[in-house]
Amino acid sequence: MRYPFVVGRSDFIQGDEAIARAAILAGCRFYAGYPITPASEIFEAMALYMPLVDGVSIQMEDEIASVAAIIGASWAGAKAMTATSGPGFSLMQENIGYAIMTETPIVIVNVQRGGPSTGQPTLAAQGDIMQAIWGTHGDHSLIVLSPSTVQEAFDFTIRAFNLAEKYRTPVILLTDAEIAHMRERVYIPNPEEIETVSRKLPANEEEARLPFGDPHGDGVPPMPIFGRGYRTYVTGLTHDEHGHPKTVEPEVHERLIRRIIDKLERNKADIITYETFGLEDAEVAIVATGIVSRSAMSAVKMLRERGVRAGFLKLNTIWPFDFEMVEKLAERVRKIYVPEMNMGQLYHLVREGANGKAEVELISKIGGEVHTPMEIIERVVG
């Protein structure tokens, strides 16, 4: 396989570019999108690369159509992705729900910018955390990953495809304008160095007849690809194991939705990753995600130089959320600070996790600039 970019060495590239290259190395062969700042460069890179690897890159009429197209592509057998920013992400919510309900593996990148509405197109924010987790209607679950560097944007994109395929679910990669446009050194691995996962296919006719069942007991049904003679019917309506609509039977709805949520909940240990620094002896902890993690990390190091026993928890996965882990942390520290570029979204999750065992304080910043380490330090030392 020939790649339209150099592999097996480092390159100095932007976050958006890193996501596009990672997607191709992860096996993505269908991209549909609609231009929006600060996500357009992902599309532009995909437009350049996709035809060269015999993949599809197509500009749809809007974001609603973009998600729809990648869901269709996924049922036809492709690993598929779209990318957008706030307003486009809002438009996608209806079909994100459809992807959850039909257990369609897809990857959606949301490069956050200031909102609500068209807000601040060129400036970073973390205002879509709740939208990523809870944006679509109904009871549901999906996976949300949050990188803090360009290298992570690359690595997490590959992970996003693998998790989507493994658990037959949409995965949201939540980045921001800062990571999108910042250039950093990124190691672009050789394809052999990358572990890629592909969805489970039905092993036989019997499994294919249960496209929404649980033949393996792991909550993840094998996915019958269109055109292979299985004659699968896929609907966003509540359906039974065969895919037949059953909209007024409470027990069918309950069984379906609980399985969809449970297949991620029971695999939390595999899905959730985080990093810590100095938490062993910490009195105060800082919890952050995405771009703010970098300031938070610097702040913790500087605090420790000043003799403050600070520790850091960096969340790479924001959903599913590890409430138990945060509670254990809260039992050990006096106070948890949550710096984030919004009016308090991660804060809600952390506070719920802390469960009253420690005080949780929000360090909110909006307007488009990332917290400086000093801004965090000042709040911690009072």
Partner 1 sequence: MYLKSSYEIRDKYLRKDMLPTIFCPGCGIGSVLQFTLRAIDDLGLNQDEIVWVSGIGCSSRVPGFVNFDGLHTTHGRALAFATGIKLTNPDLRIIAFMGDGDAAAIGGNHFIHAIRRNLDVTVILINNFTYGMTGGQVAPTTLKGLKGTTAPYGQFENPFDIAQLAVAAGANYVARWTVFNYLQGINSVKKALQKEGFTLVEFLSPCPIGFGRRNRMKTSPELIRWYQEITVPLAKAKNMKPEELEGKIVIGEFVDRDRPGLVREYQEYIKRAKKMMGWEG
Site residues (vs partner 1, CB under 8 A): 2, 4, 29-30, 32, 51-52, 54, 56, 58, 60-62, 64-66, 68-78, 80, 94-95, 98, 226-237, 242, 244-245
Amino acid at 38: P
Q: How far is the CB of 98 from partner 1 (least distance, A)?
A: 5
> H or E element: which one contains 186?
strand 183-188
Q: Which residues of 262-300 are buried (b: 16+ CB within 10 A; e: fewer)?
A: ebbeebeeebbeeeebbbeebebbbbbbbbbbbbbbbbb
Partnered with residue 289 across adjacent β-strands are: 315
Q: How many Cα atoms within 13 Å fall on the side-chain side of residue 239?
A: 21
Choice between 142 and 297, CB closer to partner 1: 142
Choice between 244 and 306, CB closer to partner 1: 244
Choice between 34 and 337, CB closer to partner 1: 34
**Surface-to-core class of residue 352, CB atoms within 10 Å of its CB (0-12 exposed, 13-18 middle, 19+ buried):** middle
Q: How far is the CB of 198 from partner 1 (least distance, A)?
A: 15
Q: How far is the CB of 292 from partner 1 (least distance, A)?
A: 35
Choice between 64 and 302, CB closer to partner 1: 64
Choice between 61 and 305, CB closer to partner 1: 61
Q: How far is the CB of 12 from partner 1 (least distance, A)?
A: 22
Choice between 7 and 271, CB closer to partner 1: 7
* Residues contacting 281, CB < 8 A, separation 6+: 309, 311
Q: What is the largest CA-CA distance in the chain?
A: 67
Q: How far is the CB of 157 from partner 1 (least distance, A)?
A: 20
Choice between 5 and 323, CB closer to partner 1: 5
Q: How far is the CB of 58 from partner 1 (least distance, A)?
A: 7
Asked, as a colleague might, if the bond just before 320 is cis with ω within 30 of 0, I would say yes
CB 102 within 8 A of CB 56: no
Sheet with 56-59, edge to edge strand ranges: 56-59, 28-33, 79-84, 106-112, 170-176, 143-145, 317-319
Q: How far is the CB of 207 from partner 1 (least distance, A)?
A: 16
Choice between 82 and 162, CB closer to partner 1: 82
Whole-number Å distance between alpha carbons of 126 and 156? 17
Q: How far is the CB of 316 from partner 1 (least distance, A)?
A: 29
